[in-house]
Amino acid sequence: MKKIMTILMIAGLGASAHAGKVVIEGSTTVLPIAQRAAEVFMKNNPDADLSVRGGGSGVGIASIIDGTCDIADASRAIKPAELEKAAKRGRDLKAHIIAMDGISHIVHPSNSMTGLTREQIKKIYTTRIKNWSEVGGPDLKIVVISRDSASGTFEAFSEMVLDKKKVRPDAIMQASNQAIASIVARTPGAIGYVGLGYVTGTVKPLAVDGVMPAKETVLRNKYLISRPLFMYTNGKPAGTIKLFIDFLKGPEGQKIVEEEGFVPLK
Amino acid sequence: MNRKKERLIKYLFTTLAFASLAFLIGIVLVLFKEALPIFAKVGPKAFLLGESWYPTAEPPEFGILPLILASLWVTAGALVICVPLGVGSALYLHELAGPRQRAVLKPVIEILASVPSIVYGFFGMVILAPWLQDTFELPIGLCVLTTSIILGVMATPTVASIAEDALSYVPRSFREASFAVGADRWQTLTKVIIPAAGSGISTAIILGMSRAIGETMTVLMVAGGSAVIPSSIFDPVRPMTAAIAAEMGEAPVGSEHYNALFAIALILFLITFVFNIAAELISRRFRLKLGLSR
């Protein structure tokens, strides 16, 4: 029995050392797309060996600079400091936009509000507005719900809406889009933000500066609280890496993007 | 041959027994190693007594007082639930229940202990929180009260089973002597049995507290997660365990944020360590008092 185990382990080690292995690491926002895409891709190409893990955009980019991953997922563009570090290590990072993501602000369906300005949302999240009546809604305390400060969605929201100002400390912090959507769905005073894919019939999306968040408005660059999702490669992709990126950008990959609740490129 | 085998087995079990010690030392070393940089950077006082927790802001702020107080509030709340429930069940099981009630109740309490914490969390999130929210007309049901109730129920089996053990250690002679001088059942219970088992019951309560303060999944789901110093039992809070669980995945390895999360873990470890030492000391005194050998 032990012998068999040893043989299996050696065989396993041998396989993982194979040159065809592609490591994908980074943003947890991109993670579900990368994971599903890798599964389908490996089914189509039984020789390919992809390993996908999260860690966050920063971790992914640090790993590709260090050479410990082949594709870095990122829910933000690379920062100048990171580019500099990459250049020093002789890495030439290429960005591939694989999808778009819009951040929708959602409230309880019973809330009479239909839209807010970006400035109002900022004030709500930084304590200056505390009651819906201050923005023309019902006389109801606003329950502010945010993603945990370490999440990529939070980072994007903080940058695009809050101008990096701190979220009020008494905001309810939740670990996932799903948790935010389900709390908003049963809390009359709540406001939260989630990826487009999480806007269902149980919550009400708000227009921001008069524009409703939707696939079309994100794609036409009208809804501004949106961002591209990236995969970074070292130099021009080749071999399995190229095949995988092409697959993601192709019709089958973009279908996965849509199924995972993001905005496909076309 | 036989002796050789015996010695071999002895060494094997000695090694296994000391393995836990090795694990403990390993954990403590890693906690200290990863936590110390943040104390050096921020200063222990600013870290422990700082009132804002903004680990990813520019510049970051690492004050964990709101997290420590959140843990203490929900633990205190859990005690209010689990002490009467746990000690009450132990007294009932030991004093009043007949063999048939015992045969049903003991396994039921044990099953309560084996329900996975995520199930409790789910129950709290989907049923208890919305109910409290409607009943008390709260802005949101995820708060200290909800968390305390769930943690209290989770800690009840720990308290009940250890308190019941403590009661069963009280020698029969104590009870017989009490009856002999004409005390009734109630007097015997309150004047003799409970005082005799008192430190055992205290141990049960302290271990229940350890259980409550270390619980992670449930508080992550029902506490709400706001890093503010609570001012009422209806405030959402972010206990230490929830902060670690929610943030560890995204904190870059080796960053200040990462070190700060280890430091929180270290504080939590020290708190439960003190709880357990206290429980051990009290139970030792208890055994001496009853004339039981250690």
**Around Cβ B150, how many Cβ atoms within 10 Å?**
29
Question: Is B139 an 8 Å CB contact of chain A?
Answer: yes
Question: Is B249 an 8 Å CB contact of chain A?
Answer: yes
Question: Is B86 an 8 Å CB contact of chain A?
Answer: no
Quote the CA–CA distance of B158 and B211 in Å, as a whole number: 8
To test the contact with chain A by mutation, choose from B53, B62, B217, B226 the residue with the greatest count of A C-beta atoms within 10 A, namely B226
H helix or E strand, kind and range, residue A104: strand A93-107
Question: Is B130 an 8 Å CB contact of chain A?
Answer: yes
CATH number of B53-289: 1.10.3720.10
Give the mean model confidence (pLDDT) for residues A42-66.
88
CB-facing half-sphere around the CA of B207: CA atoms within 13 A: 21
pLDDT of residue B47: 94
Nearest to A173 among B130, B235, B238 (CB): B238
Question: Is A62 an 8 Å CB contact of chain B?
Answer: yes
Interchain pair B236, A170: CB under 8 A? yes
The mean-pLDDT minimum among A57-61, A212-216, B131-135, B188-192 falls in A57-61
pLDDT of residue A16: 36
DSSP string, B215-274: --HHHHHHSB---S---STTS-B--HHHHHHHHGGGSPTTSHHHHHHHHHHHHHHHHHHH
Question: Is A174 an 8 Å CB contact of chain B?
Answer: yes
Interchain pair A172, B225: CB under 8 A? yes
Nearest to A172 among B130, B140, B250 (CB): B140
pLDDT of residue B290: 66
Residues in B 194-233 with any Cβ partner in A closer than 8 A? 220, 224-228
Q: What are phi and psi of A19, to 5 degrees?
A: -65, -25
Q: Which residue has the tokens 């004093």?
A: B95
A&B contacts, CB < 8 Å: 78
pLDDT category at B293 given cuts 50, 70, 90 is very low
Could you state, in order of their start, the residue ranges of all structural domains in chain A?
2-100+227-259, 102-219
Residue A10 has pLDDT above 80, yes or no: no
pLDDT of residue A18: 40
To test the contact with chain B by mutation, choose from A183, A191, A202 the residue with the greatest count of B C-beta atoms within 10 A, namely A183
Which residues of chain B neighbour A151 with C-beta distances below 8 Å? Answer: 250
pLDDT of residue A12: 42
The mean-pLDDT minimum among A56-65, A183-192, B65-74 falls in A56-65
The token duo for B229 is: 């110093």
Q: Which of B70-74, B102-106, B191-195 has the highest mean pLDDT?
A: B70-74
Quote the CA–CA distance of A162 and B56 in Å, as a whole number: 14
pLDDT of residue A11: 43
pLDDT digits (tens, 9 = 90+) for B149-176: 999 999 999 999 999 988 988 888 888 9
B265-273: long-range contacts, CB 8 A cutoff, minimum separation 24: B265/B31, B265/B35, B265/B240, B266/B31, B266/B32, B266/B35, B267/B48, B267/B64, B267/B68, B267/B240, B268/B71, B268/B213, B268/B214, B268/B240, B268/B241, B268/B244, B269/B27, B269/B28, B269/B31, B271/B71, B271/B213, B272/B210, B272/B213, B272/B214
Give the mean model confidence (pLDDT) for residues B48-66.
90
Question: Is A183 an 8 Å CB contact of chain B?
Answer: yes
Q: What is the ipTM of this complex?
A: 0.76
pLDDT of residue A122: 94
pLDDT category at B291 given cuts 50, 70, 90 is low
**b vs e for B8-27, b when ≥16 Cβ sit within 10 Å of the residue's Cβ?**
eeeeeeeeeeeeeeeeeeee
Quote the CA–CA distance of B273 and A163 in Å, as a whole number: 43
Work out the widest C-alpha separation in chain A, in whole angstroms: 73
To test the contact with chain A by mutation, choose from B135, B140, B247, B256 the residue with the greatest count of A C-beta atoms within 10 A, namely B140
Tell me what percent of the residues of chain B surpass a pLDDT of 90.
63
- pLDDT higher for B131 or A16? B131
pLDDT digits (tens, 9 = 90+) for B222-263: 999 899 999 999 999 999 999 998 887 667 777 888 899 999
* Gyration radius from chain A CA atoms: 21
pLDDT of residue A196: 83
* Whole-number average pLDDT of chain B: 90
Count of H-run helices and E-run strands, chain B: 13, 2
Give the mean model confidence (pLDDT) for residues B212-224.
93
Interchain pair A149, B139: CB under 8 A? no
pLDDT category at B58 given cuts 50, 70, 90 is confident
Give the CATH superfamily of A102-219: Periplasmic binding protein-like II (3.40.190.10)
pLDDT of residue B1: 61
pLDDT of residue A256: 93
pLDDT of residue B192: 87
The mean-pLDDT minimum among A198-202, B48-52, B134-138 falls in A198-202
Interchain pair B226, A173: CB under 8 A? yes
Which residues of chain A neighbour B246 with C-beta distances below 8 Å? Answer: 148, 150, 173, 175
Question: Is B59 an 8 Å CB contact of chain A?
Answer: no
Residue B48 has pLDDT above 60, yes or no: yes
* Whole-number average pLDDT of chain A: 86
Interchain pair A169, B55: CB under 8 A? no
**At the topology level of CATH, where does A2-100+227-259 sit?**
D-Maltodextrin-Binding Protein; domain 2 (3.40.190)
Give the mean model confidence (pLDDT) for residues B17-44.
93
Which residues of chain A neighbour B253 with C-beta distances below 8 Å? Answer: 59
To test the contact with chain B by mutation, choose from A172, A174, A191 the residue with the greatest count of B C-beta atoms within 10 A, namely A172
